Amino acid sequence: MKNKLIITESQLERLKIRMNEDSVHSIMVRRMKEELDKNYSVMEKFVREGGEYKTTPMIEILADNEVISPRDLSLIHI
């Protein structure tokens, strides 16, 4: 059995806009993830604090093997 959904033209336009926004957002997120995966690697750095070793999450830049903090990565303008 098929059901029909009847909507107005304004509802259709709002639905089209919403679908377009979602697809644009998902494409942008996918491209950002691909860029990050291609150029950066997640690693842990061991830091000695008060006689104990603690792990700190760090980001390695694959092009030059430089290690930066996640906060520093967020400040880089891609």
At 21-64, the pLDDT tens digits run 778 888 888 888 999 999 999 999 888 888 889 888 999 999 99
Domain containing residue 52: 9-75
- Mapped onto helix, strand or coil, the DSSP state of residue 36 is helix
Q: Note whether residue 2 is domain-resident.
A: no
Q: Note whether residue 61 is domain-resident.
A: yes
pLDDT attached to residue 46: 87
> Distances in Å between the alpha carbon of 12 and those of 2, 4, 8, 16, 70?
20, 14, 6, 6, 42
Q: Note whether residue 13 is domain-resident.
A: yes
- Reported as a pLDDT band with limits 50, 70 and 90, residue 77 is low
| Rounded Cα distance, 10 and 49, in Å | 61
pLDDT attached to residue 10: 93
Q: Note whether residue 1 is domain-resident.
A: no
pLDDT attached to residue 40: 93
Residue 78, pLDDT > 60, answer: no
Q: Note whether residue 3 is domain-resident.
A: no
Number of domains in the chain: 1
